[in-house]
Amino acid sequence: MAKRDYYEVLGVAKDSSEDAIKKAYRKQAMQHHPDRNPGDAAAETKFKEAAEAYEVLADAEKRKRYDQFGHQGVDGMGHAGRGFQSMDDIFSAFGDVFGGRGGGGGGGSIFEDLFAGARGGAGGGRDGAGASLRMQISIPFRDAVFGCTKTIDLKRHEGCKTCAGTGAKKGTKPKTCTLCKGHGVVRQGQGFFVVQTTCPQCHGRGQVIADPCADCAGNGVKPESVTIKVRIPAGVEDGSRLRVGSEGDAGREGGPRGDLFVDIAVAEDGFFERHGDDVVCRVPVTYSQACLGAEVEVPTLEGKATLKVAAGTQPGEILRMRGQGVPTRGARRGDQLVVIQILVPKKPGKRQEELLRELGELDAQSAEHKGFFDKIKAMFG
């Protein structure tokens, strides 16, 4: 099924401000939240659809790519292209829109209090889903350009093998919470306005454990250190966030795992700078090479290449080496832009000095040199 236009999803114009987009998303989220529409699959779909649209349009770089290339331009960037799989995904990505824990931080929010049942207790959602995690890794410049696989040491919650994730001592079972009757939430208020909050007795789990498992203290999960491999796609930029599905905390009682969000920090390169899909470098050439023209050897991202410097090339001139830049999602690559710098010897040899003095005398007689000083005389004479 084809995706709807993100601007259409949020009901905003293409030239809408960041603030207008945030307000539109907040309105859509409040309207279609599953806890306000219990059992309504269409409302839940619209809720996740709005979150996906906001993730793209609230990010300047993703919005620019979306405006240029549509959905294909943002496929693979965060949740875009795959959609959000749970309420925890949405809070982990940008819950701060509602004044809460966006990006995996601490604290709660009015939004979470109103819809506490969407997340449940500390172990994840009411469906037993594990919490999503977030971490940052640093990668070398060229690994970001061509992609790589990184081995990551991670501490996360794994299912307790002693109690099989139930949290109850072996031979016993959790019992239905008497306060919330197994719903995990309690409702207070009257008339139209009703506030729904996490059950204080079972902390959103819907069950209570009279005799907890000693190994996991009744949580059903316990922290363990694991090593995983994460594939970094080619062309990833500094500050990008990758979503690695099902590599977060384990869920309770067989619930699905959360996801892992990886923030990418790209280290600077000693020679190249990145500008979009192009890379920029500075290459020194001698005065004679710039005057007479030459073929010089230039480093590229994949080795060395020969660059033709035309006769009369000026200092600061930019030469383009096509297809030597950053791989894009299409068939082409960016370019390598070479900024020409004239190499001036700090201590010329005796013979060099003699030739330079002779050349200086010839330069003083050149038409270009005379023309410049004739203009100076005309201005101040």
The number of CA neighbours under 13 Å toward the Cβ of 160 is 22
DSSP for residue 253: G
Amino acid at 81: G
378: its two tokens: 């005309």
| Same domain assignment for residues 166 and 241 | yes
42: its two tokens: 């269409």
| Same domain assignment for residues 31 and 71 | yes
| Domain annotation covers residue 357 | no
| Same domain assignment for residues 155 and 283 | no
| Same domain assignment for residues 276 and 260 | no
The pLDDT score that the predictor gives to residue 75 is: 72
| Same domain assignment for residues 301 and 338 | yes
| Domain annotation covers residue 153 | yes
Q: Over the range 14-45, which residues count as b (16 or more CB within 10 Å of their CB) and which as e?
A: eebeeeebbebbeebbeebbbbeeeeeeebbe
Cα distance between residue 373 and residue 381, in whole Å:
11
Q: What is the pTM of this model?
A: 0.60
The pLDDT score that the predictor gives to residue 13 is: 93
User: CATH number, domain at 32?
Assistant: 1.10.287.110
| Domain annotation covers residue 369 | no
- Segments of the chain with pLDDT less than 50: 81-82, 93-126
CB 160 within 8 A of CB 223: no
Amino acid at 254: G
The pLDDT score that the predictor gives to residue 205 is: 83
| Same domain assignment for residues 4 and 48 | yes
203: left (phi over 0), alpha (psi -120 to 50) or beta: left
**Number of CB atoms found within 10 A of residue 350's CB:** 7
| Same domain assignment for residues 19 and 110 | yes
Cα distance between residue 89 and residue 129, in whole Å:
11
278: its two tokens: 């192009």
Cα distance between residue 102 and residue 296, in whole Å:
51
The parent domain of residue 149 ranges over: 132-174+209-268
Q: Which of 196, 220, 193, 232 is nearest to 77 (CA)?
A: 232
| Same domain assignment for residues 79 and 53 | yes
Beta bridge partners of 186: 197
CA angle 80, 85, 87 (to 5 degrees): 110
Q: Would you tell me the crossing angle of helices 60-69 and 41-57 to the nearest 10 degrees?
A: 100
The pLDDT score that the predictor gives to residue 289 is: 96
Q: How far is CA 347 from CA 232, 343, 355, in A?
A: 47, 12, 14
Domains identified in the chain, total number: 3
> For 53-71, what is the HEC assignment?
HHHHHCCHHHHHHHHHHHH
The pLDDT score that the predictor gives to residue 1 is: 59
| 36-57: pLDDT as tens digits | 777 788 888 888 899 899 989 9
| 364 SS3 class | helix
282: its two tokens: 């500075």
| Domain annotation covers residue 371 | no
| Domain annotation covers residue 78 | yes
CB 124 within 8 A of CB 131: yes
| Domain annotation covers residue 190 | no
| 263 SS3 class | strand
DSSP for residue 73: G
User: CATH number, domain at 238?
Assistant: 2.60.260.20
| 58-70: pLDDT as tens digits | 988 889 888 888 8
The owner of tokens 């700090």 is 346
